[in-house]
Amino acid sequence: MTKGGVMENLTLEQKIGQLVVIGFYGIDPDAATVRGMLAQARNGTIGGVILFGYNIKGPAQLKRLMKAIHQEPKTYPLFTIVDQEGGRVQRLDPEKGFSGFHSAKTVAENLTPSAAREQYADMGAMLKRYGFNFDFAPCVDLDTTPPCSVIGGLERSYGCQPARVADYALALMDGLHEHGILTCLKHYPGHGRAQGDSHIGPVDITDTWSEASLEPYAALVKTGRVDAVMTAHLLHQGMDPDTPATFSEKWIGRLRNEMGFDGVVVPDDLNMGAILHHYSLEEIVIRGLNAGLDLLLFSNNPLAANAQGIRQDARSTGFGNSRVPDAALPGKIIRIAVDAVASGAISETRINEAVSRVMALKQRLQVSKT
């Protein structure tokens, strides 16, 4: 699989499909929701899937599910993604029979970076054993006092010193890379000092954010080992007023132009309340791609937008106002993007740029198998 050959052979619809990462409900390959997802993988309507705790019951069940995903005929490799950080964020939960791993805070307080790398190599081996090829980790957010409820409050940060955070994040990256697992720095441009939860609504970091939050990203990008960076749904009025980083050409531009990162940029879940409550599906797709996102990540989980339940006033008909996942969501995303290219709202050059980065990352998955 070469990027040039791929670009020549793909239709516009297929190109856009490679940019779509979707979540799904179900734990059994025979479940209707899982069969639907497998059909999308086979048809090239999606480029990746992400599994959450509700997809994972235990080791034997997960092996069956992942075997079905990998055995489904497909033209191009599928990203099989999970959030596995350790501590409170472990989709492969030790309570379900999987090996457990320490939180970032515990690792940084008790292990050297070298010893941490060994722990993370074990994590990488486990992820590979169960069929994953992409981990949305490490978290490189800086800790603060009082801690951010969804970062420091959950012990997801390696600390408050940028260099130390970068050292331990690199340990995770190297440990997972040893087993061919892609990694993703998060949550750009820095969620650690935020006071709020973007799962529920907008989080303004204007008064709490500092340039130090970018230092781990800059240091790690210089190593040449960063596969992907995840943007957060954070607002900074001094940087890009009223535009979350996920939709901000300025924030993504700093990552590209100042730090020199030319890998994949992926948003945090676009079903989160900070996005879903304020933008239609059409706006999400067009603004996201035009800002510089290379993947469009949707958990397709109606509960993701509100910790208390599902909001009932989604602005876009058919998106976000249902109590069940939308099986047709990938097709809707593709149609919106195709129409946007036709109207000039998105350039095909931007689509090609994103596809090129995604395929380069998938090429690395192929190489890691050899």
Which distant-in-sequence residues (6+ apart) come within 8 Å of 256 by Cβ?
262, 292
The confidence score (pLDDT) of residue 287 equals: 98
CA distance 243 to 245: 6
* Number of domains comprising the chain: 1
| Active-site residue list | 199, 268
Which distant-in-sequence residues (6+ apart) come within 8 Å of 320 by Cβ?
271, 276, 281, 302, 305, 310, 311, 314
Question: Which DSSP category does 319 fall into?
Answer: S
The confidence score (pLDDT) of residue 308 equals: 34
Q: Which two tokens stand for residue 313?
A: 């006033």
Exposure string for 319-338, b = 16+ CB within 10 A, e = fewer: bbbeeebbbebbbbbbebbb
Neighbouring C-alpha atoms within 13 Å toward the C-beta of 247: 19
DSSP per residue, 22-79: EE---SSTTSHHHHHHHHHHHHTS-SEEEE-GGG---HHHHHHHHHHHHHS--SS--E
The confidence score (pLDDT) of residue 194 equals: 74
Q: Which two tokens stand for residue 158?
A: 């390696």
Instruction: Name the H helices within 195-344.
Output: 215-222, 249-253, 273-276, 281-291, 329-343
Collapsing DSSP to helix, strand or coil, 244 comes out as: coil
CA distance 313 to 276: 10
The confidence score (pLDDT) of residue 318 equals: 39
Q: How far apart, in Å, are the Cα atoms of 227 and each of 137, 160, 267, 349, 360? A: 11, 24, 14, 22, 10
Question: Which DSSP category does 235 fall into?
Answer: E
Q: Which two tokens stand for residue 239?
A: 């940087």
For residues 245 and 234, the answer to whether their CB atoms sit within 8 Å is: yes
Q: What is the CATH number of the domain that holds 177?
A: 3.20.20.300
CA distance 323 to 313: 12
Range of the domain at 127: 3-369
Q: Which amino acid is residue 320, in one-letter code?
A: G
Burial of 307 (0-12, 13-18, 19+ CB in 10 A): exposed
For residues 19 and 354, the answer to whether their CB atoms sit within 8 Å is: yes
Per-residue pLDDT of the chain (370 residues; tens, 9 = 90+): 555 556 778 999 999 999 999 999 999 999 999 999 999 999 999 999 999 999 999 999 999 999 999 999 888 999 999 999 999 999 999 999 999 999 999 999 999 999 999 999 999 999 999 999 999 999 999 998 888 888 888 999 999 999 999 999 999 999 999 999 999 999 999 887 777 667 777 789 999 899 999 999 999 999 999 999 999 999 999 999 989 999 999 999 999 999 999 999 999 999 998 898 899 999 999 999 999 999 999 999 866 655 433 333 333 333 444 556 899 999 999 999 999 999 999 999 999 999 999 999 999 987 666 5
Q: What predicted TM-score, i.e. pTM, was given to this entire model?
A: 0.93
Angle at CA of residue 284, ends 226 and 270, nearest 5°? 55
- Helix, strand, coil tally for the chain in percent (to 5): 45, 10, 45
CA-based nearest residue to 247, from 260, 236, 233:
233
Rounded to the nearest 10 degrees, the angle between the axes of helix 113-129 and helix 162-177 is: 40
